[in-house]
Chain A
Amino acid sequence: MGDMAVLSFTEAGIWCEAGDFHIDPWRPVPRALITHGHADHARPGHGAYLATHAALPVLRHRLGDIRAEGIAYGEARQIGGATVSFHPAGHVPGSAQIRVEVGGEVWVVSGDYKTEPDGLCEPFDPVRCHAFISECTFGLPVFRWAPQAEVAAEIRAWWQANAAAGRVSLLGAYALGKAQRLMAAVGDGPGPILTHGAVEAVTDVLRGQGYALPATELVTPGTDKARLAGALVIAPPAALGSAWARRLGTVSTGFASGWMRMRGVRRRRGADRGFVMSDHADWDGLNAAIAATGAERVFVTHGYTSVFRRWLESRGYDAQVVATEFEGESVETPAREPAAATEAGP
């Protein structure tokens, strides 16, 4: 790591010695800076939490009674010998990259990010730095995303076809971020947008914060069958194929994820339709984001790390792999059983 190490990689996660805090730690620590509210980044049990004002409500919703403080995007704060600030990561509403400066040396932790603006969350903002710790969930050249408008049109067409045939459109998407992005992007359709409880709860929180989200309605045992027939129902992936889903009647299932880019994964999922839409950067996005930081050192975590590191090295970067405990959960087992799905996925 050399003497210029602003951050180091410990058993508990990314640690800043100068400020004695951790970033997205996976073991309980006294002080945690959190990039966003997905379960594998925001874990319970820390002494104190610091996150963006926009991320806090979801954090509290998920973790309950925690000692947490908010910070504005771009606001600089001194913690011990380190200066920290949070910058939009474009991943989900409230998500941030965290910039840490110690003695003029600047390191940035990307958290999860995507470079394409999605119309809902604060758009990704590149931050100049000396070292960049980047996720690379989709760090292979086979992953490239079509513009959001195109995918939204595909989903709308599928919804319309289902409605015309009297089927329910059941769309699987992670409850925080992807679900709201979809409801905002898909626009007016042939029927109402209904939600599963896990989605509705987070949507409520975000709506309360002022994010512009369309009207949604919780599916209950009392929901009118006629209303369901032309509806778009958004539910966590775990709900697809469950007893809950069977009660909806005749459904066509769809799943929105970057993994749907691969035919094998798409078929294994067993959904009727796979829509390629991710809240992570694609291959071109990762490369553009890294270039925009101006960093010479890049640490890759979370994804196709060994391949992506080698690629970066061939492009002249000083690149290293950092092992994380996010790994097994959301990335390397993309087609895990819905039941085992966390909301930390793509």
Chain B
Amino acid sequence: MKRFAALYTALDQSTKTTTKVAALEAYFREAPDADRLWTIALLSGRRPRRGVTTTQLRDWAAELAGLPQWLFEDSYAVVGDLAETIALVLPEGEAPGGDTRSLSDWIAEVKRLGTLDEPARKAAVLGAWGTLDRTGRFVFNKLITGGLRVGVSQTLMTRALARATGVPEPELAHRLMGDWTPETVSFESLVLTRDPEADLSKPYPFCLAYQVEDGVQALGSPADWLAEWKWDGIRGQVILRGGQHFVWSRGEELMTDRFPELARLRDFVPEGTVFDGEILGWRDGAPLPFAALQTRIGRKTVPKKLLAEAPVILLAYDLLEAGGEDLRAAPLAERRARLATLTEGLPDEVPLRLSPEVGFDDWAALAALRATSRARGAEGLMLKRRAAPYVGGRRKGDWWKWKVDPLSVDAVMIYAQAGHGRRANLFTDYTFAVWDGDALVPFTKAYSGLTDAEFREITAWVRKNTLQRFGPVRQVPGELVFEIGFEGIQPSPRHKSGIALRFPRMLRWRRDKPAAEADTLESLRALL
């Protein structure tokens, strides 16, 4: 673990990208294959199956540190991270001889924990804490709890690995996609050798868009740009290769079984085809609201009733592969033309549509069209440069989202909770309410949108004005007013207020507004 703990320290201590990449590159050059593989897995959000509950971890840590449980919990509330709290409260000092095991050995140990009975499991965890130093304990705890974040994106990790192995970066990015785990691949098979069998299911790294901020005029001539409606669905790649089909989310989750209707594409689309598009609930030639799709997201398999209530289609907007040929280097205009040919004349029952182009002559005309987005059920527009190749990752310049301004409402903060990670020890997670007669009815939570300075000021206010504590949650007097922005609003029988918001966030702190002038439930319902 020492080598990995040192890497963790180096990544955590630096705020500079170049330093992080250099530290990772050095690690990838030196570490044994099993450790390299697990490091790639951890930094891309994979982790071993959890074999210990967090309750057990808390109880054992408090016991070993000689602390009453309430004091451990209060400390955790301040630190905001369980793995870190445990590492901080345990008595200092690693065992004589220290830790000689590698990262992959420790992961094997973490996996073994799940197979043990409780006394043996406790002995193993206490043994690990006794052997490791503070950073080692922190990493060990994170292996169990998950969420080892070190501020390294998949792109940076891929760059470092490319430098260490000599495999070109785009090639490597592609190889690391998919639903592999360190149990199903080796470092050799994942990173170094091209395995056509494994490549069958792999999606391409997604091209991501930035929000237009400086106005569309800055984009230059309208003729260079293709506009499409931006729908609120699930971004996905649909792959048809080797007589099979695969559906991937942008989060690299394999969703094939959740959308069984897409299997029909196999009957109508030739082999060796990869689409990029939006999976949408669809009825009578128009998209359904996201809420319809939401009913299907959490399910691994979909019952017939739901299939009938919320049927999906793929609204395809890009063609990444045709006839087994990688088209990503071709300009968008050419890819679109081939996509149009491919989707032309398909019977209505095939759940595949071409995302239509939104025609416009100048930016003013497009702005006028954009203003109609909400009425159409769209979030706004997408703008794509016709001459651009398809480049994975988030890169400014070729793809832009031009969303409509959010809906907004002025709401009163009634509960506050401390954040995690960088925001630990600051109250950043708030519950908001609107007036229903004389009562404040909670209707949403929001976490983001304020500056660090505002969060600090509100944190000091929350501490001075706490009415009641419910574990980590503080109830505060309904005094502070915030403008809450959101993208959509739906009726929701599950919520007290009867409504649910899509993408709520704080737009600003309304210091100018007394709580009595905040919005009402009635005015919110009027937006439904």
Contact = CB atoms under 8 A, between A and B. Distances in A.
Interface in B206-222: none
A203 B112 CA distance: 57
A335 B65 CA distance: 27
A335 B426 contact: yes
Contact of A264 (B14, B70, B79, B453): B79
B460 A140 contact: no
A208 interface: no
B78 A142 contact: yes
Contacts of A272: 13-16
A117 B67 CA distance: 27
A267 interface: yes
Interface residues of A, number: 27
Given A264-B79, A264-B422, A314 B456 contact: no
Given A142-B89, A268-B452, A273 B13 contact: yes
A141 B75 contact: yes
Interface stretch (A215-223, A231-239, A326-334): A326-334
Given A141-B65, A141-B71, A142-B79, A264 B15 contact: no
A197 B215 CA distance: 45
Given A140-B78, A141-B65, A264 B460 contact: no
Contacts of B85: 142
B233 interface: no
A243 B32 CA distance: 46
Contacts of B12: 263, 267
Given A263-B81, A264-B421, A272-B14, A328 B460 contact: yes
A335 B456 contact: yes
Interface in B460-518: 460, 463-464
B271 interface: no
A142 B88 contact: yes
Interface in A201-247: none
A272 B89 CA distance: 25
A82 to B, nearest CB: 33
Given A262-B425, A263-B81, A264-B425, A314 B89 contact: no
B79 A262 contact: yes
B92 interface: yes
A265 B459 CA distance: 14
Interface in B67-81: 67-68, 70-72, 74-75, 78-81
A322 B7 CA distance: 44
Given A140-B78, A272-B14, A307-B71, A263 B84 contact: yes
A304 interface: yes
Contacts of B65: 141
A43 interface: no
Given A264-B425, A265-B424, A267-B422, A140 B92 contact: no
Interface in A169-197: none
Contact of B456 (A141, A144, A264, A337): A337
A261 interface: yes
Contacts of A311: 68, 71
Contacts of B424: 262-265
A31 interface: no
Given A261-B88, A265-B425, A332 B81 contact: no
A143 B426 CA distance: 17
A270 interface: yes
Interface of A: 140-144, 261-265, 267-268, 270, 272-273, 304, 307, 310-311, 314, 328, 332-337
19 contacts: A140-B74, A141-B89, A263-B81, A263-B84, A263-B424, A264-B421, A264-B424, A267-B421, A268-B426, A304-B78, A307-B74, A307-B75, A311-B71, A314-B68, A332-B460, A335-B425, A335-B456, A337-B452, A337-B456
Task: Return the 6 tightest CB-CB contacts between A and B, nearest first.
Answer: A264-B424, A142-B88, A267-B422, A307-B74, A141-B89, A142-B75
Interface of B: 12-16, 65, 67-68, 70-72, 74-75, 78-81, 84-85, 88-89, 92, 420-426, 452-453, 456, 459-460, 463-464
